Structure 1
Amino acid sequence: MVRLKNRYLLLDILYPDSTTWPTTTVSSGPQAAQLAIHAPTSDALTPGLLAKMIREEVGEMYGDWGVGKLGGASAMGVQVKYLSPATSTAIIRCPRAAFRLVWSALTYMSHVPAVTEPGAGVGQRRPNGGRERPCVFRVLRVSGTMRKAEEEAIRRARREIVRVRGVEEKGVLGDLISGAERGMSVGGSRTVVTGIMDESEDDGMFDDDDD
């Protein structure tokens, strides 16, 4: 029996356009901006819709040849195995021979369905550009198994949480330490603060778990 080998692309959806951010987010400093870039995605983006968008983009870029590499227009060559609108994270499965086509298609995809605003009517267009929201699809890791992609997604989610909390704690501790140093400057005392360094990040894009 021939074993069909696939590739799993872990990706996240980013929103770098500050004009789509809430006004309070723009004026709240770098921490809020970091959260806004990784903002949630509308529930209108379903796994089926995302897979369809990828297939259409591959067809537009590479024509019938690209669609054939995915297994044909009616085949399930591209499948969204995981999609979380809350974290704007997805895992795409595609044939191993065509994962670069899918990757390039994701690079050129620039819009997702916009978040429905409270009180907006059905089909009502948003002031910031209609029913679509500009975004960037960033491929984080290419793996040969679903398990490796899931582990990488969990690791990156934990790192983002630690990074955001670190910014909060650094701001609070900085104010407290500066106040303590000013209060003890008369007596000649000095406060020494040590920080915890984050472990270096592995920027490798490919896993060697499956040839």
Structure 2
Amino acid sequence: MVRFKNRWLLVEFIQSGTQTATLDGKQIYAALKQSVIHNFGDAAWGAVAMSLTVKYFSPTTNVAIIRVARDHHSIAWGAVTLLTSIAGQRLIPNVVHLSGTIKHAQLAAIQHNRQVVARFRALANTPAMYQDSYDAFLDQSTKEIEALQD
């Protein structure tokens, strides 16, 4: 039995405009599809299409986990970095982590979410023991990320 080998991209979408519209996984997938077709052509989309999926997206931290076949991960990575907007919203994609297993992508996503929440808290100048909604978000997002299956 042959197993499909994947690569997992952990991508942060940094909003560059003053607008803050919420994104979702379907919009990211559609934007990635258009980016692959526009920048690499229909043949590249044919190669990537069967394996490309957005497995997780957090609208709070704008972090996505994207799965793609190992042989074509460079096309997907290129398409992500060439994105300039999704659903009319200007943004800057930042590939935070590339992994060969979903487990390592999950660990990187959990760690990245904690770093982003720490940045949010630092900007808000909250005391160390202050309880806010980010604690519930971290618990919920950790459960969602850990529940992801290949």
TM-score over 0.5 for the pair: yes
Give the corresponding residue for 1:3.
Answer: 3
Q: 1:137-193: CA deviations, max 9, x gaps?
A: 1110011111211111111222233344446269xxxxxxxxxxxxxxxxxxxxxxx
- Please state whether the residue corresponding to 2:28 is helix, strand or coil: helix
Q: Identity of paired residues, percent?
A: 31
Q: Is 1:97 the equivalent of 2:71? A: yes
Question: TM-score, normalised on structure 1?
Answer: 0.54
Contact 1:10 1:149 (8 Å CA) reproduced: yes
Q: Is the 8 A contact 1:66 1:101 kept in 2?
A: yes
In the TM superposition, residue 102 of structure 1 has moved relative to its aligned partner by 0.7
Cα distance in 1 for residues equivalent to 2:6 and 2:53: 11
Q: How many residues matched?
A: 126
Structure with greater helix percent: 2
Could you tell me how far 1:48 is from its partner in structure 2? 2.5
Structure 1 outlier segments of 4+, above 6 Å: none
* Relative contact order higher in (CA < 8 Å, ≥ 6 apart): 2
Q: Given that residues 41 and 86 in structure 1 are in contact (C-alpha distance below 8 angstroms), is that contact kept between their aligned partners in structure 2? A: no
Could you tell me how far apart the structure 1 residues matched to 2:126 and 2:45 are?
50
Q: What is the alpha-carbon distance in structure 1 between the residues aligned to residue 126 and residue 10 of structure 2?
A: 30
1:65 aligns with 2:43: yes
| CA separation of 1:41 and 1:10: change in aligned 2, threshold 3 A | farther
Report the 3-state secondary structure (helix = DSSP H, G, I; strand = E; otherwise coil) of the residue aligned with 2:41: helix
1:16-55 matches, within 5 Å, as 16-17=16-17, 20=18, 41-42=21-22, 45-55=23-33
Query: Which residue number corresponds to residue 109 of structure 2?
Result: 153
Residue 54 of structure 2: SS of its match in structure 1?
strand
Structure 1 unaligned spans of 5+: 22-39, 114-131, 171-211
User: Is the strand fraction higher in 1 or 2?
Assistant: 2
- Deviation, 1:62, is 1.4
RMSD over aligned Cα, in angstroms?
Answer: 2.1
Point out the structure with max Rg over C-alpha: 1
Q: What SS class does the counterpart of residue 135 from structure 1 fall into?
A: strand
Distance 2:63 2:36 in 1: 20
Decide whether the 8 Å contact of 1:15 with 1:136 is kept in 2.
Answer: yes
Paired residues of 2:29 and 2:53 also in contact (CA < 8 A): yes
Distance in structure 1 (CA, Å) of the matches to 2:66 and 2:103 = 13
Unaligned runs of 5+ in 2: 128-150
Q: Which residue of 2 aligns with 1:196?
A: none
Counterpart of 1:14 in structure 2 is: 14
Instruction: Provide, for residues 71-125 of structure 1, a one-character-per-residue CA deviation record: whole Å limited to 9, x for no partner.
Output: 5xxxx32101001112211000001111111111111111123xxxxxxxxxxxx
Amino acid of the structure 2 residue aligned with 1:161:
V
